[in-house]
Chain A
Amino acid sequence: MTNGILDVRKVIRAGLLAGLVMSFTSAIGMVEDFDRRMIIDGLFSLGFLALLWYVPIAGYKVGDEKVLEGMEIPPKSRKHVLAGVLVGLIGGVVLLALILITNAMDLRDVFIRLSPNLVALLTFSDNPADPNFGVGAIFLIGMPGLLGAVGGALHLVSPRLRRQIVVAPTAIIVSALVKDVIGQIMRTFGLDTVVRQLYRNGAVRLVPAIIGAAIAFYLAGRERRETSRIREFLTHPDPKVRTRNSLIVGAGSIVVVVAAPWVLGSLLSEILATTGIFLLMALGLNIVVGFAGLLDLGYVAFFAVGAYTSAVLTSPLSPFFSPEWPWWYTLPVVVVVGVFAGIMVGTPVIRLRGDYLAIVTLGFGEIVRITFLSDAASPWFGGAGGIRQIPGIPLGFDTISGSDPEYIFYFALALVLLAAWVSYALLNSRVGRAWTAMREDESVAEMMGIDTVRSKLSAFIVGAVLAALGGALFSAKLGSIFPTSFELLISIVILVVVIVGGLGSIVGVVVGALVLIGVLGGPRQPGLLQEFGEYKLLIYGVILVYMMLKRPEGLVPRVRRQRELHEDELTQDDWFEKKGELSELEGGA
Chain B
Amino acid sequence: MSSSTNQKLSRRLRLNWVDSFLIGVRVAAVVFIAIGLVGTIINFANGEGPTAVAWRDLVVGGIAQGTMYGLIALGYSMVYGVLGFINFAHGEVFMGGAMTAFFMASYFVETGLWADSFVIALILVILSSMFASTVIAVLVERIAYRRLRNAPRLIPLITSIGVSFFLQYSAAFLFGISNKSFPQPPQGLLNKVDVFGLGWLLIEGTKLLVIVISVVSMAVLYFIVERTKTGRSMRAVAEDKEIAGLMGINVDRTIVTTFAVGGAMAGIAGSMWALLFRGVSFNTGFLPGIKAFTAAVLGGVGNIVGAMLGGLLLGLFEGVGPLLILDGWGIPGVSQLKDVVAFAALVLVLVFRPSGLLGERLSVEDRG
**Residues in chain A within 8 A of chain B (CB atoms):** 24, 27-30, 109-113, 295, 347-348, 350-352, 354-356, 358-360, 362-364, 366-367, 370-371, 373-376, 443, 449, 451, 453-454, 492, 495-496, 499, 535, 537-538, 540-545, 548-549, 552, 564-565
Stretch in contact with the other chain, from B30-38, B67-75, B242-250, B328-336? B328-336
- Quick check: is B119 within 8 A (CB to CB) of the other chain? no
Q: A370-B336, A545-B144, A545-B162 are in contact. Are A363 and B153 (CB under 8 A)?
A: no
Q: Which residue of B lies closest to A110 (CB)?
A: B103
- Quick check: is B317 within 8 A (CB to CB) of the other chain? no
In contact, B350 and A541 (Cβ under 8 angstroms):
no
Complex alpha-carbon distance, A373 and B350, angstroms: 25
In the complex, what residues of A have CB within 8 A of residue B168's CB?
Answer: 537, 541
In contact, A112 and B175 (Cβ under 8 angstroms):
yes
- Which of B80, B169, B331 contacts A541 (CB under 8 A)? B169
Complex alpha-carbon distance, A359 and B91, angstroms: 14
In the complex, what residues of A have CB within 8 A of residue B80's CB?
Answer: 355
Complex alpha-carbon distance, A565 and B86, angstroms: 21
Pairs A-B, 9 closest by C-beta atoms: A544-B162, A541-B165, A541-B166, A375-B333, A363-B343, A28-B173, A538-B169, A545-B162, A548-B159
In the complex, what residues of B have CB within 8 A of residue A30's CB?
Answer: 173
- Which of B7, B22, B153 contacts A347 (CB under 8 A)? B22
- Which of B154, B175, B340 contacts A367 (CB under 8 A)? B340
- Which of A109, A112, A371, A565 contacts B151 (CB under 8 A)? A565
In contact, A552 and B333 (Cβ under 8 angstroms):
no
A13 to chain B, nearest CB (A): 13
**Residues in chain B within 8 A of chain A (CB atoms):** 7, 11, 14-15, 18, 21-22, 25, 80, 84-86, 103, 106, 144, 147-148, 151-159, 161-170, 173-176, 290, 293-294, 297, 331-334, 336-337, 339-340, 343-344, 346-347, 350-351, 354, 368
In the complex, what residues of A have CB within 8 A of residue B106's CB?
Answer: 109
In the complex, what residues of B have CB within 8 A of residue A355's CB?
Answer: 80, 84-86, 153, 157
Which of A364, A366, A453, A541 has its CB near the most chain B CB atoms (within 10 A)? A541
In the complex, what residues of A have CB within 8 A of residue B337's CB?
Answer: 370-371, 374, 376
In contact, B351 and A363 (Cβ under 8 angstroms):
no
B11 to chain A, nearest CB (A): 6
Q: Which residue of A lies closest to B165 (CB)?
A: A541
In contact, A376 and B343 (Cβ under 8 angstroms):
no
User: What 10 additional pairs, Cβ within 8 angstroms, besides A295-B157, A347-B22, A495-B158?
Assistant: A351-B354, A355-B80, A363-B347, A366-B340, A375-B336, A376-B337, A541-B163, A545-B162, A549-B144, A549-B147
In contact, B148 and A549 (Cβ under 8 angstroms):
yes
In the complex, what residues of A have CB within 8 A of residue B175's CB?
Answer: 110-112
In the complex, what residues of A have CB within 8 A of residue B11's CB?
Answer: 451
Residue pairs across A and B with Cβ atoms less than 8 A apart, 9 shown, are A352-B350, A355-B80, A363-B346, A366-B340, A453-B14, A496-B162, A538-B165, A538-B173, A549-B159
In contact, A360 and B350 (Cβ under 8 angstroms):
yes
In the complex, what residues of B have CB within 8 A of residue A548's CB?
Answer: 144, 148, 155-156, 158-159, 162
Q: A540-B165, A544-B161 are in contact. Are A359 and B290 (CB under 8 A)?
A: yes
B77 to chain A, nearest CB (A): 12
In the complex, what residues of B have CB within 8 A of residue A565's CB?
Answer: 151-152
Complex alpha-carbon distance, A371 and B18, angstroms: 25
Q: Which residue of B lies closest to A499 (CB)?
A: B158
B260 to chain A, nearest CB (A): 20
In the complex, what residues of B have CB within 8 A of residue A375's CB?
Answer: 332-333, 336
In the complex, what residues of A have CB within 8 A of residue B22's CB?
Answer: 347-348
Q: Which residue of B lies closest to A549 (CB)?
A: B147
Q: Which residue of A lies closest to B296 (CB)?
A: A359
In contact, B336 and A374 (Cβ under 8 angstroms):
yes
Q: Which residue of A lies closest to B15 (CB)?
A: A453
- Which of A27, A354, A373, A537 contacts B154 (CB under 8 A)? A354
In the complex, what residues of A have CB within 8 A of residue B350's CB?
Answer: 348, 352, 356, 360
Q: Which residue of A lies closest to B140 (CB)?
A: A545
In the complex, what residues of A have CB within 8 A of residue B174's CB?
Answer: 27-28, 111-113
In the complex, what residues of B have CB within 8 A of residue A540's CB?
Answer: 162, 165
B354 to chain A, nearest CB (A): 7
In the complex, what residues of A have CB within 8 A of residue B161's CB?
Answer: 492, 495-496, 544
B368 to chain A, nearest CB (A): 7
In the complex, what residues of B have CB within 8 A of residue A351's CB?
Answer: 18, 354
Q: A112-B175, A548-B148 are in contact. Are A370 and B165 (CB under 8 A)?
A: no
Complex alpha-carbon distance, A535 and B168, angstroms: 11
- Which of B152, B155, B170, B343 contacts A538 (CB under 8 A)? B170
In contact, A538 and B166 (Cβ under 8 angstroms):
yes
A131 to chain B, nearest CB (A): 22
A5 to chain B, nearest CB (A): 27
In contact, B159 and A545 (Cβ under 8 angstroms):
yes
Complex alpha-carbon distance, A354 and B154, angstroms: 8
In contact, B339 and A449 (Cβ under 8 angstroms):
no
A375 to chain B, nearest CB (A): 3
Q: Which residue of A lies closest to B286 (CB)?
A: A488
In contact, B354 and A352 (Cβ under 8 angstroms):
yes
Q: A449-B7, A453-B14, A538-B169 are in contact. Are A359 and B346 (CB under 8 A)?
A: yes
In the complex, what residues of A have CB within 8 A of residue B158's CB?
Answer: 495-496, 499, 544, 548
In the complex, what residues of A have CB within 8 A of residue B153's CB?
Answer: 354-355
Complex alpha-carbon distance, A495 and B84, angstroms: 20
- Which of A359, A362, A541 contacts B164 (CB under 8 A)? A541
In the complex, what residues of B have CB within 8 A of residue A358's CB?
Answer: 86, 157
Complex alpha-carbon distance, A543 and B175, angstroms: 22
In contact, B7 and A367 (Cβ under 8 angstroms):
no
In the complex, what residues of B have CB within 8 A of residue A110's CB?
Answer: 103, 175
Q: A113-B174, A355-B85 are in contact. Are A366 and B343 (CB under 8 A)?
A: yes
- Which of A348, A364, A545, A552 contacts B166 (CB under 8 A)? A545
In contact, A359 and B294 (Cβ under 8 angstroms):
yes
Q: Which residue of B lies closest to A365 (CB)?
A: B343
Complex alpha-carbon distance, A352 and B346, angstroms: 12
In contact, B340 and A542 (Cβ under 8 angstroms):
no
In the complex, what residues of B have CB within 8 A of residue A492's CB?
Answer: 161, 165
A351 to chain B, nearest CB (A): 7
Q: Which residue of B lies closest to A350 (CB)?
A: B18
Complex alpha-carbon distance, A42 and B47, angstroms: 75
In contact, A545 and B148 (Cβ under 8 angstroms):
no
In the complex, what residues of B have CB within 8 A of residue A371's CB?
Answer: 337, 340
Complex alpha-carbon distance, A352 and B356, angstroms: 12
In the complex, what residues of A have CB within 8 A of residue B334's CB?
Answer: 376
Complex alpha-carbon distance, A301 and B368, angstroms: 29
Q: Which residue of A lies closest to B102 (CB)?
A: A110
In contact, B144 and A295 (Cβ under 8 angstroms):
no
In contact, B333 and A374 (Cβ under 8 angstroms):
yes
In the complex, what residues of B have CB within 8 A of residue A360's CB?
Answer: 346-347, 350
Which of A348, A364, A453 has its CB near the most chain B CB atoms (within 10 A)? A348
A538 to chain B, nearest CB (A): 4
In the complex, what residues of B have CB within 8 A of residue A28's CB?
Answer: 170, 173-174
B296 to chain A, nearest CB (A): 10
Complex alpha-carbon distance, A356 and B343, angstroms: 12
In contact, B340 and A535 (Cβ under 8 angstroms):
no
In contact, B340 and A370 (Cβ under 8 angstroms):
yes
Q: Which residue of B lies closest to A108 (CB)?
A: B176
In the complex, what residues of B have CB within 8 A of residue A451's CB?
Answer: 11, 14
In contact, B173 and A113 (Cβ under 8 angstroms):
yes
In the complex, what residues of B have CB within 8 A of residue A354's CB?
Answer: 153-154
Complex alpha-carbon distance, A544 and B174, angstroms: 20
Q: Which residue of B lies closest to A349 (CB)?
A: B350
A516 to chain B, nearest CB (A): 13
In the complex, what residues of A have CB within 8 A of residue B15's CB?
Answer: 453
Q: Which residue of B lies closest to A547 (CB)?
A: B162
In contact, B351 and A359 (Cβ under 8 angstroms):
no
In contact, A347 and B331 (Cβ under 8 angstroms):
no
Q: A348-B351, A544-B165, A552-B151 are in contact. Are A370 and B86 (CB under 8 A)?
A: no
In the complex, what residues of B have CB within 8 A of residue A359's CB?
Answer: 86, 290, 293-294, 297, 346
In contact, B151 and A348 (Cβ under 8 angstroms):
no
